Amino acid sequence: MKIYPIILSGGAGTRLWPLSRAALPKQLLPLVTDRTMLQETALRLSGRDGMMQPLVVCGNEHRFLVAEQMREIGVNPLGILLEPVGRNTAPAVAAAAHYLAAIDPQAVMLVLPADHVIKDVDAFYAAVQRAATQVEGGALATFGIVPSAPETGYGYIQSGEPLKADGCFSVARFVEKPNRETAQGFIDAGNFFWNSGMFLFRADAYLKELAQFQPVMAKSSEEAVTKGYRDLDFCRLDEAAFTACPADSIDYAVMEQTTRAVVVPASIGWDDVGSWTALADVQQSDANRNVTRGDVYLDDVSNTLVRAEGRIVAAIGVQDLVIVETADAVLVAHKDQVQRVKQVVDHLKTKGRTEHLHHTKMYRPWGYYEGIDIGERFQVKRITVNPGGKLSLQMHHHRAEHWVVVSGTALVTCGDKEILLTENESTYIPIGMVHRLENPGKLPLHLIEVQSGSYLGEDDIVRLEDVYSRK
């Protein structure tokens, strides 16, 4: 049986602010290991019998990051589907199912969120194989995590009758997140499992059930694929058709209504890393139950997570805290209150601020830039252009730019002239001048950009030509 992993890489991960932000959400960050969560998900079952290359579904704004992260680990995805808008998991999986059905009418889909931790991959693969025996007959399988505690932050699945001798069960019911007393009752009953949000089913079986229970979604998602088009290495879903899809999860749209749902119990070291305390729980701690990353100094500290992204963070005489430092924000919270981090994000939105949207380091398909300083009529950035990277041919109405090469080689177009700059050389781009920066070398290009003018916003960019097809 060929199994196609479908990696869902949407969402903003607001509960892990200030590290996770809209432009760089948690699945694209190295939270648990040195690889990002998306990379770990893509590699999890790579090379296993029957596993095909993954199909990734992500938002348009993350497309180049997703492609680059796949390239870094040597994974050549079957495709990268771009959602023009977020519509929850059911439409995303429907689009993937239509895309796959055109390639392989017998395709079996293994639906995986990109931001989960699975410590026991062998056990997970075994659970997938058990589920496959049911999927062959048209069942829609979900993986129920054997609970280790009465968690109130997860939904639950109650198992019904056992199916054959493969460790699968019919689904008696899905249950919303319970209170602690109810959750403890589920644990005591022994036939309730955490809802993992991972699924295995044939593409045609999912689409058949979707057409029965959500006909508008089924039709709109099919139209989004058939009217979609290639853009570089991506497949853009048709915006109007996909936007017309009702927003809903797989659970609500299909799994809670179908009679073909089965649950596969799995004890696999799973966690959805939905909060800072959850992240602390899946990482190695010291003798005092502290989890640290970065430049951290601790003195008389216990049961605390400290993450330093750029500066030294010193903690003295505290316990049960989460401390996270980034270039433009610091979070200090008691472990019992980390669910309130989302309120900070809501506050930033209300005040029209940007710290929930992006970091000071902004990734682009050609590399990245990082804000160093900003003041009245000036702004300083550190720019890195990858080998072969090329910024758009552009001009600005309100600002001039000075470029100083720190290392590497820069090919600069300024008007009708081209100049080659190397270390310690500089150039000036006047207001209104058509220009382009590219790296023709084999090493990264690092330079300092000083902007000056009456308006320095990123929307003062008129792109005349762009190899990355950005508007």
Q: Give the per-residue pLDDT at 327.
A: 93
Length of the chain equals: 471
Residue 471 has pLDDT above 80, yes or no: no
DSSP character string of 65-129: HHHHHHHHTT---SEEEEESS---HHHHHHHHHHHHHHH-TT-EEEEEETT-EES-HHHHHHHHH
Percentage, residues of the chain above pLDDT 70: 100
pLDDT band at 469 (very low <50, low <70, confident <90, very high): confident
Instruction: Render 381-407 in DSSP notation, one character per residue.
Output: EEEEE-TT-BPPEEE-SSEEEEEEEEE
CA 284 to chain centre: 23
CATH of domain 361-465: 2.60.120.10
* Sequence spans of domains, the chain: 3-271, 276-347, 361-465
Burial state string for 165-176 with b = 16 or more CB within 10 A and e = fewer than 16? eeebbbbeebbe
274 to 36, 196, 366, 367: CA distances (angstroms): 15, 12, 31, 29
Measured between alpha carbons, how far is residue 1 from residues 4, 74, 96, 117, 470 in Å? 10, 24, 18, 25, 39
Which pLDDT score is estimated for 166?
Answer: 78
Q: How far apart are CA 205 and CA 303, in angstroms?
A: 47
Lookup: tokens for 404: 């100083």
> Is pLDDT above 80 for 164?
no
Average pLDDT over residues 8-19: 91
Residue 232 is predicted with a pLDDT of 87
108-27-365 Cα angle (round to 5): 100
The whole-angstrom separation of Cα 85 and Cα 58 is 10
- What does the pLDDT average to over 6-15? 90
- Mean pLDDT of all residues in 231-237: 93
Give the rounded distance of the alpha carbon of 453 from its chain centre.
36
- Among candidates 373, 367, 371, 391, which has minimal Cα distance to 382? 371
Write out pLDDT tens, residues 375-420: 999 999 999 999 999 999 999 999 999 999 999 999 999 999 999 9
- For domain 3-271, the question of CATH label 3.40.1620.10 is answered with no
Predicted pLDDT at 359: 93
- Report residue 322 as tokens: 């989460």
* Tens digit of each residue's pLDDT (9 = 90 or more) over 291-300: 999 999 999 9
From the list 146, 134, 103, 128, the residue with the least C-alpha distance to 51 is 128
Strand order in the sheet with 305-308: 291-293, 305-308, 321-325, 330-334
3-state helix, strand, coil in the chain (%, to 5): 25, 35, 40
Query: Distance of CA 83 to CAs 92, 93, 238, 243, 450, Å?
Result: 8, 11, 9, 9, 35
Output the furthest CA–CA distance in the chain (Å, rounded): 76
Average pLDDT over every residue of 241-255: 96
Report, as an integer, the average pLDDT of 364-377.
94
In the predicted model, is pLDDT for residue 215 greater than 80? yes
Say what the pLDDT of residue 398 is.
Answer: 96
Taking the C-alpha atoms of residue 14 and residue 356, their distance in angstroms, rounded to an integer, is 8
Q: Is the pLDDT of residue 165 over 70?
A: no
The pLDDT of residue 339 = 92
- Kindly state the average pLDDT of the residues 231-258: 95
Residue among 363, 367, 366 nearest 469 (CA): 366
Q: Which residues contact 188 (CB under 8 A, 6 or more apart)?
A: none
